[in-house]
Amino acid sequence: MSAQPTAFDAPLIELSGVTKSYGSGSASMQALRGVDLTIHQGEFVAIMGASGSGKSTIMNIIGCLDTPTTGSYRFKGIAVEQLDRNQRAQLRRYELGFVFQGFNLLSRTSALENVELPLIYRGLPNAERRQLALNALATVGLNGWASHTPSELSGGQQQRVAIARAIVTQPAVLLADEPTGNLDSARSVEVMEMITRFNQESGITVVMVTHEPDMAAFASRVVHFHDGLVASDKRQAGVAS
């Protein structure tokens, strides 16, 4: 089980005065208005807020898919906004795993090949890739399903494949964007229990965007966004972190 952060722990993720604007002139829209947010290794943070509150924008910035207009984003002490496109891609490849609402699996390839994909980008040899991918599928309870394509899997199984793909590289951070949005309630709970297990047993930091209070209840900390700012940031009693 991951340890509770202390005042002496260096933050894993640190955003200071982060703003994000789109467009210019009269068409300009400010998605983030000066966000300060710190996340430590091993935390499970749920980010909530209404549509347009800035929660997806902050997830894109944390995931190095976008950069702040102003302000600072430090990951393991590295000033991410100062990195070029290739350097940000390297950070994503080696430090971050992504799980999306829509699964984002390659439709004509097997579960095994989908999970292998991030390892191909790392240049690992075939045999090593295959074994790591098989291990990741076993971890999410999909032994025996390696050869099946997404169309042959249920929604819950597809999301398990997506989670296996996200954790096969042993990332420091798992970024989950509405990971249960396309699942029924029973499959949603299964997925959340799995993500919680990775957080507690492997120490993977989890940052999850969700609009569902039942899913946010699995997190040890809930950050609410409103109009591009952090409106509240609370730890949840009785949830281990």
Cβ–Cβ contacts within 10 Å for residue 139, how many? Answer: 18
Give which of 219, 210, 106 is closest to 161, Cα–Cα: 106
Q: Which residues contact 121 (CB under 8 A, 6 or more apart)?
A: 93
Inside any domain, residue 83: yes
Inside any domain, residue 183: yes
pTM assigned to the model: 0.91
Instruction: Give the C-alpha separation, 19 to 32, whole Å.
Output: 5
Q: List the domain range (segments joined by +) for residue 167.
A: 13-235
pLDDT for res 64: 95
Write the pLDDT tens digit of every residue in 64-80. Answer: 999 999 999 999 999 99
Q: Which residues contact 60 (CB under 8 A, 6 or more apart)?
A: 66
Inside any domain, residue 230: yes
Q: What is the mean pLDDT of residues 194-212?
A: 95
Instruction: Give the C-alpha separation, 170 to 92, whole Å.
Output: 12
Domains of the chain: total: 1
Inside any domain, residue 8: no
Pairing of strands 173-177, 96-100: parallel
Q: Is 149 left (phi over 0), alpha (psi -120 to 50) or beta?
A: beta
Identify the band that residue 170 occupies on the pLDDT scale cut at 50, 70 and 90. very high
For residue 30, give the CATH number of its domain: 3.40.50.300
pLDDT for res 2: 47
